[in-house]
Structure formats: C-alpha cells, structure tokens
Amino acid sequence: MDEKARALAAAKSAAGFQAADMVEDGMVIGLGTGSTVYYMIERLSARVREGLHVTGVPTSFQTAMRAREYAIPLTTLDDHPIIDMAIDGADEVDPHLNLIKGRGAAMTREKCVAAAAFQFIVVVDEAKVVSRFAAPVPVEILPFAVTPAMAQLRGLGCRPVIREGVKKDGPVITDNGNFIVDCTFPSIADPAGLEKAMAEIPGVVESGLFCGYANKITVIVGNEKGIKKITSADIVP
C-alpha cells in the first residue's frame, strides 16, 4: 500500500471507528453502504463480541452480507419504522451539511433509513468536505421511464449519463431493480431546490441529494491524525 492509500485508509478507519463507538446498548441503527462504513461495521462487530446488544437495518444487499459476516443481528424498517441512529458515508458534504450520496447506488434505501433515524451520523475522510458541490448527482430511475426522465433532467441543466456496470455489460441495476443516471452540473447553487425538482420528474425514484437533515446530522471527518466532528451548531448562517 502506497503512502496516499495508507493515509486514506487511516482516515476512513478513524471516522468509522468513532461512529461505532457512539452506538449505545440496545440501539437499532441504520447500516449504510460504502468503504468508510465498513470500517464502522468492523469496529461494531468487535463491540458486539464484547457484549453490546445492537440491531442493524442494512441499506443494501452488500451491507447485509457484510453485517452477517461480522455477526451483527439485522432487522428491517417493517419491524422498526423508527430507529435510533443511522450511520452512513457521503460522496460530498457542503458547508450547510447537505450531502451528495449514491456512488454505491444505494441512496434510495439510505435516504429511507436516514429519514427514519433520530440521529444521522455521516462518516467521511476530509477530502469529502467541500465548499461547493462538484460531484455528479446520482439519480435512480425506473428503466421504463429512463429516456423521458433523462430529457427532463437535461432541462435542469445537467449532463445525464446512465451508469455502466463493471464486470457486467450494460447499466448498473440497483437493489431495487432500477437504473442509476449520474447527473453532472456546471454548478449547484440551490441543492434543496434541485432535490425537489428531481423528485417531481415522473420515473425518478430518488436522487443522491440529501438536504434538510442538518438538525440531526453529525459529520465525523477522519484524517491520519484522528477525527473532528461537524454539527448544525458549526453552520455559519
């Protein structure tokens, strides 16, 4: 592992471990998807072996498989429509604690779980904290409606591209059986307005913009030396 990769792994590990240590006995928690969250699952598994009682709601098939591998008990939103805490990663975090998520194509389930949680813990390395969004916004779309939906997305000012699979010919298929369209914008001046506009397009299931969660978000930012936390109290009006 080169120095850059080692530093990134250390940052992700620091953030993920800190999030796992925030979990309290008896909690039902949302288990997000992504590499930083997997460090959290690793640490959470160690705490379960030490006697912590916790139940997880996975946001993807991949996370469910990882949690079972680490012997973390699982449940669903059917059984627990309100949960104590959701822990997840993000592609980017802006100064108002808006998020872009969906690099792992799991943002629809991630948003359902985040909405159900009293607390939303977001774990990232420091490169994900940005002054202004620049990452593509993933959008989950019904295959039946992908062409007209993409036309309307273009009308919002983006360049939409259907995400292609790796080691698979054709589009990425989400855990819900839909396509992912990555939307690149020259700039995003109003993330909340854009999230609303995307949601109004017929055929769009969900977008990767997570706005309006600032009051319950704690962002844990990892780096080589440790972590720092950002909450709504740190937002400059």
35 marked ligand binding residue? yes
36 marked ligand binding residue? yes
Give dist(CA 4, CA 17) in Å, integer.
20
203 marked ligand binding residue? no
168 marked ligand binding residue? no
89 marked ligand binding residue? yes
104 marked ligand binding residue? yes
Nearest to 185 by CA among 229, 115, 116, 138: 138
Across the chain, where does the E strand assignment appear? Answer: 28-31, 55-58, 83-88, 92-93, 99-100, 117-125, 137-141, 159-162, 179-184, 204-207, 209-210, 217-223, 226-231
33 marked ligand binding residue? yes
Lateral strand order in the sheet of 137-141: 159-162, 179-184, 137-141, 204-207
125 marked ligand binding residue? no
**Which of 92, 110, 140, 206 is flagged as catalytic?**
110
Is 110 known to be catalytic?
yes
Residues belonging to the active site: 110
Q: Which residues participate in the annotated binding site?
A: 33-36, 88-91, 101-104, 128
Q: Which residues participate in the annotated binding site for substrate?
A: 33-36, 88-91, 101-104, 128
